[in-house]
Structure 1
Amino acid sequence: MSNISKLEFFALNISGKGYSSWILDAEIHLDTMGLVETIKDNNQASSKERAKAMIFLRHHLDEGLKMQYLTVKDPLVLENVTEHDKLEKTYSTFSASSMLLQQQYRGMDFKKYSKLLSHLLIAERHNDLLIKNHESRPVGSMSLPEVNQANYYQRERGHGSYRGRGTDHGRDRGRKMNYNHDGRLAPKND
């Protein structure tokens, strides 16, 4: 059996994603139907107008949301979402394994949804960075190799200081150089 009626705009997802766009679409459509007053504060809409608006709005809700708002008869309730409602909805999306994390965020006592959201986004970026670091160098992997092991070996043995390439000022130029078994630089005998 096909859909009985076509949606005029997308149904609101249970996660609440796209709520701002959904609310604007709902208001525009209710206005064209002559029912926009039903979603305004202190409105004088009749119960019949509220029922029509509610049927229209419920038609544009995800099945999970329809169940959540099963007993709601006033369309104004679907339009007024407080900061507290948004915060609670976000806390409720934490998985059961993250209950401690949910309690920690509740303990931070956010008053604005935007503050909680920015905090969660920063935490997500930090977690992504930690995962990338771990994947590039897992625990127990070999340490990084020495960049210049010959130079390191000479310094450890106390054989002078490193002056860098090309600082011999002409000394030993043209001679073939060789390292002794103890790591010291020795001229090669021809």
Structure 2
Amino acid sequence: MANITKLEFEALDLTGKNYLSWILDAEVHLVYMNLGYTIKEGNEMSQQDRAKTSFTLILCGEKVTDQDMLEKTFSTFHASNVLLQQQYRERGFRRYSELISCLLVAEQNNELLMKNH
């Protein structure tokens, strides 16, 4: 993940101010990588092929292990959630998809609790 700072185009601003230029740049970049068809509505790709293409896009063609992605996700937890971070680490996830599934369920449960409160 050493080449992560080497961008093909400007990153999307957190405020979304450069969204239009970013989406155009992203589309051009996908076409250049022969992946443009993946973002077209109604394409006939299987779910497995779509996931494989997104994985290539997210990682920009670089080899990154599940352990790298798990560690990156754990490191993004807010400082006030250190205990929560440790709890997720202790669960011993081996695959990134397992962690993300667990986090999505926790997020849905939290939203439900907030609505009921």
Q: TM-score normalized by structure 2?
A: 0.51
CA deviation map 1:62-86 (0-9, x unaligned): xxxxxxxxxxxxxxxx811110010
Q: What is residue 39 of structure 2 aligned with on the other side?
A: none
Higher helix content, 1 or 2: 2
Q: 1:87 aligns with which of 32, 47, 70?
A: 70
* Percentage of matched positions with identical amino acids: 57
CA deviation map 1:54-110 (0-9, x unaligned): xxxxxxxxxxxxxxxxxxxxxxxx811110010000001100110000000000000
The RMSD of aligned alpha carbons is 3.1
How far 1:130 sits from its partner (Å)?
A: 0.4
Alpha-carbon separation, structure 1, partners of 2:81 and 2:105: 17
Secondary structure at the residue paired with 1:97? helix
| Matched residue count | 71
Alpha-carbon separation, structure 1, partners of 2:86 and 2:8: 40
Larger gyration radius, structure 1 or structure 2: 1
Aligned CA distance change for structure 1 residues 83 and 8 (closer, same or farther; 3 Å): closer
Determine if the alignment matches structure 1 residue 129 to structure 2 residue 106.
no
Unaligned runs of 5+ in 2: 1-6, 14-25, 35-60
Unaligned runs of 5+ in 1: 1-6, 14-20, 30-77, 135-190
